[in-house]
Amino acid sequence: MSELYEVPVRTLDGGETTLAPFEGKVLLVVNTASQCGFTPQYEGLEALQREYGARGFSVLGFPCNQFGAQEPGDAEEIATFCSTTYGVSFPMFEKVDVNGPDTHPLYRLLKGEAKGILGSESIKWNFTKFLVSRSGEVVSRHAPSDTPTSLRGKIEALLG
């Protein structure tokens, strides 16, 4: 089992779990925010979830308030925003830090496996995306400006 599936995470409603239920799926892990210029990407992320979910794919959303304080809400506010504004059906998790001394262990692992520009591990902004294979390998990292639609070919290749 990949180390990725053993990382403890909390669901948006506060439940303790790991990513083990997602073992064997292609994953797109995204740090999200409700008040960001990239927030409309929720629509594209949900479209990917609906298109590929039955084939073993899942988007995993991790709200983050580290960039311009663009995710100030509590868990209930985030859940309401995601469901009413974008009809989000993919799993959303507890708000996390993706940089700094309190970086969530999942993001420490993702950043170590797929570095950014010039080898940087730092996440630059909301809606940075990590694509993970069925075996738990971090395949690629994508900038906030990379739209969910632009990742279709890579997702389809991983789904086989």
The burial class, CB within 10 Å (0-12 / 13-18 / 19+), for 16 is exposed
Q: What is the mean pLDDT of the chain?
A: 95
Whether 64 sits among the annotated catalytic residues: the reply is no
Which helix H or strand E contains 47, and what residues bound it? helix 41-52
CA gap 134, 38 in Å, rounded? 27
- Which one of 36, 78, 109, 158 is the catalytic residue? 36
CATH of the domain at 136: 3.40.30.10
pLDDT (tens digit per residue) in 93-147: 999 999 999 999 999 999 998 887 777 889 999 999 999 999 999 999 999 999 9
pLDDT (tens digit per residue) in 148-157: 999 999 999 9
Number of domains observed in the structure of the chain: 1
Question: By residue range, what is the domain housing residue 26?
Answer: 3-159
Which helix H or strand E contains 113, and what residues bound it? helix 105-113
CA gap 144, 67 in Å, rounded? 12
Query: Can you give the pTM of this predicted structure?
Result: 0.96
